[in-house]
Amino acid sequence: MSIAEIQQQTEFLAEERESQVNDFAFMVATKNGSGSQTSNSVLVRSLFHMGIPVNGKNLFPSNIKGLPTWYTIRVSGEGYIARRDTTEIAIAMNELTAAEDIADLPEGGVVILPQEWKWGRTRDDIIWYEIPVKETIRQFKIPSARREQVGNMVYVGVVSWLFEIPLELVHKALSDQFRGKAGPVNMNYQIIETAWEWARENLVKQDPYRFAPLNLTEGKILITGNEAAALGATFGGVTFASWYPITPSTSLIDALLGYRHLRKDPESGKDTVAVIQAEDEIAAIGMVVGAGWAGARALTSTSGPGISLMSEFAGLAYIAEIPVVIWDITRMGPSTGLPTRTSQGDILFTNFLGHGDSQQVVLLPRDPAECFEFGWKSFDLADSLQTPVFVLSDLDIGMNNWMSEPFEYPDRPINRGKMLDKIGLEEFFAENGEWYRYRDYDQDGIAWRTVPGTDHPRAAYFTRGTGHNDKGEYSERSDDWVENMERLRRKFETARTLVPAPEIETSPELRIGIVSYGSNDPAVQEARDRLRADGIDTSYLRIRALPLKPEVSAFIEQHERIYVVENNFDGQMTSLIRIDMPQDNSHVKSLALGDGLPMTPGFVYENILSMEQGQDAQERTY
């Protein structure tokens, strides 16, 4: 392209040349296993160090090496961190997907691609930057096996020059990424610097996009939900974890292993957190149930296929009343589904997990900070209620880096619930003249338990899934069964009072209410702002746990129309709400997505807007 042509193109875009600062999105297209995760993380961390609110979302295939993978990075001076539907800038590093990646760009978009492809400028309404990836790498003595990996640092250098990321912050990000190891930091930085120099000497900045330093990330951290969950469990007193490898939950256990040093036995220096890799998810939950029964704080971490396998033990733990914590980092299903794509599709299944009559306790974190909070709280809840507690995170929260406030230290001491040790049991006998495992002494549905090893001749009881009376004795009598179920229902009502309350923002109009949960939160928040700009004021309730608290039905009753926003195809939470409030739910509408990608503000905004406009039209016709 000649200089004249470039000028022509620049003129074509002149009206859009107004500088676009800190409000756009990138898409980096690479090949899986090429090391682009590292370079993308470096970009995200550099922007974070610039003080600009940023998110990075990895949209990757189920593959070790070679298949196309995309990474989106969004910056927002206004602090929005939801995934955007469109990206203005494509860094096309995968020749196989480049045609599509380029075609997807909006008018005025930017593409950065390797020179050596000799691609040709197939669109004239976007800006092209061809960069010398191979040539830059050739200047360094890099083993051929590593070339592709460090090649990704070339676009980091070019992006830094084009959009103005200070190189010292890139260096800092590299240092974070490689935990200060001088070798890899220096090698990668040299490439970044060389690419930056090349860009300064050879490129003419034609696009309007740039970053400008802000101070909006000060005091914040960047962390994945799975790391946060593991840290929460570590501060929650986990002593036993068993698991079977499964995407996207594996990194939770990896992180737990990494935090074990915080919990060494000070006397022996040995571990106090057992982490056992099981032969399958059935064994994983079996071990956790055995450990929970014996008095440990035990967790397992899995995803949908694992939850399927765990259903029998989940039912047993429910009826035998054994505290365990089960993390489900949800992905698309059923079966293998889309193993590396996010979803909220396990809500309904988990809520009722187990055959027969069972209703499980489920926590729904929205981000890493809540993963940390529920990481420790789930143990207190499980012990207090003597029941499994499920925490449903998802791939988006679990595996992507999120900007977060630093985590808050637990605000209450560890609560082991109604557990009787030797002395407790003696006192209990002195007071009540008896102790039976499943007798509801306190009328809250929760009985008192003992654990093996309690040195008291009356401490033992027989644990079974089979029918039992309140003494813990085997019974096939209908009245014993019904009495037990009635107590479990009382316990469920107690659970309703103990689980985390929803977060509610009420608009004075009380017309439109949005109900959502989990990782949809940033998308809902942004959509509400956009709706407000269009004159549509909304209230918002974010569910944080099942069973649903009374606040949820009150909120739904208060509003004329309710939109339940969720990331599954069937509108599963909507179903649960309808079960919970069988009357007066005709104004509850499901806004369910379920396409494997994180929820976007666009989906929420456009759907509510069009439904509201339709609603207005409908109302006018009456």
Partner 1 sequence: MPRNARTNALGLSRNDYRGGKSTLCPGCGHDSISNQIIRIAWELGLEQHNVIKMSGIGCSSKTPAYFLGRSHAFNAIHGRMPSVVTGATTVNNELVAMGVSGDGDTGSIGLGQYKHLLRRNVPMVYIIENNGVYGLTKGQFSATADEGQFLKYYGDNDLPPIDLALEAIVSNCTFVARSFSGDPGQVQALLKASIAHKGTAVLDIVSPCVTFNNAPDSTKSYPYGREHEIPLHDIDLLAPDFVEEREEILIGEYDEGQVIEVPMHDGTIVRLKKTDRDYDPRQRVQAIQLLEEARMDNLLLTGLLYYEEPRMTLAESENLSERPLTQLPNDMLRPPREALDQLMQSMM
Q: Which is nearer to partner 1, 127 or 256 (CB)?
A: 256
Q: Which is nearer to partner 1, 214 or 451 (CB)?
A: 451
Q: Which is nearer to partner 1, 95 or 421 (CB)?
A: 421
Q: For residues 463 and 470, is the Cβ–Cβ distance under 8 A?
A: no
**Dihedral of alpha carbons 499, 503, 509, 514, sign:** negative
Question: Shortest distance, CB of residue 454 to partner 1, whole angstroms?
Answer: 6
Q: For residues 328 and 391, is the Cβ–Cβ distance under 8 A?
A: yes
Question: Shortest distance, CB of residue 386 to partner 1, whole angstroms?
Answer: 15
What region does 510 belong to: left with phi over 0, alpha with psi -120 to 50, or beta? left
Question: Shortest distance, CB of residue 231 to partner 1, whole angstroms?
Answer: 7
Question: Shortest distance, CB of residue 278 to partner 1, whole angstroms?
Answer: 7
Q: Which is nearer to partner 1, 93 or 307 (CB)?
A: 307
In Å, how far are 292, 360, 378, 427, 495 from 382, measured between CA atoms?
Answer: 9, 11, 6, 24, 10
In Å, how far are 191, 587, 612, 619 from 615, measured between CA atoms?
Answer: 57, 11, 5, 6
Q: Which two tokens stand for residue 584?
A: 């007066």
Question: Shortest distance, CB of residue 388 to partner 1, whole angstroms?
Answer: 14
Q: Which is nearer to partner 1, 188 or 450 (CB)?
A: 450
Question: Shortest distance, CB of residue 265 to partner 1, whole angstroms?
Answer: 4
Question: Shortest distance, CB of residue 421 to partner 1, whole angstroms?
Answer: 9
Backbone angles phi, psi at 208, to 5 degrees: -90, 0
Q: For residues 280 and 302, is the Cβ–Cβ distance under 8 A?
A: no
Question: Shortest distance, CB of residue 470 to partner 1, whole angstroms?
Answer: 17
Q: Which is nearer to partner 1, 27 or 216 (CB)?
A: 216
Question: Shortest distance, CB of residue 405 to partner 1, whole angstroms?
Answer: 9
Residues 6+ apart with CB under 8 A from 156: 39, 42, 43, 170, 192, 195
Question: Shortest distance, CB of residue 226 to partner 1, whole angstroms?
Answer: 15
In Å, how far are 299, 371, 604, 610 from 517, measured between CA atoms?
Answer: 23, 13, 13, 22
Rounded to the nearest 10 degrees, what angle do helices 167-177 and 182-202 cross at? 150
Q: Which is nearer to partner 1, 6 or 221 (CB)?
A: 221
Backbone angles phi, psi at 46, to 5 degrees: -60, -45
Nearest to 383 by CA among 486, 498, 481: 498
Can you say how many angstroms the Cα of residue 387 is from the centroid of all Cα atoms in its chain?
24
Q: Which is nearer to partner 1, 20 or 272 (CB)?
A: 272
Question: Shortest distance, CB of residue 42 to partner 1, whole angstroms?
Answer: 16
Q: Which is nearer to partner 1, 230 or 546 (CB)?
A: 230
Distance CA 507, CA 538 (A): 6
In Å, how far are 304, 449, 515, 596 from 332, measured between CA atoms?
Answer: 8, 38, 22, 6
Q: Which is nearer to partner 1, 414 or 482 (CB)?
A: 414
Pairing of the two strands 209-210 and 20-21? parallel
Q: Which helix (H) or strand (E) holds 415?
A: none
Rounded to the nearest 10 degrees, what angle do helices 225-235 and 250-258 cross at? 50
| Three-state secondary-structure class, residue 536 | coil
Q: Which is nearer to partner 1, 118 or 270 (CB)?
A: 270
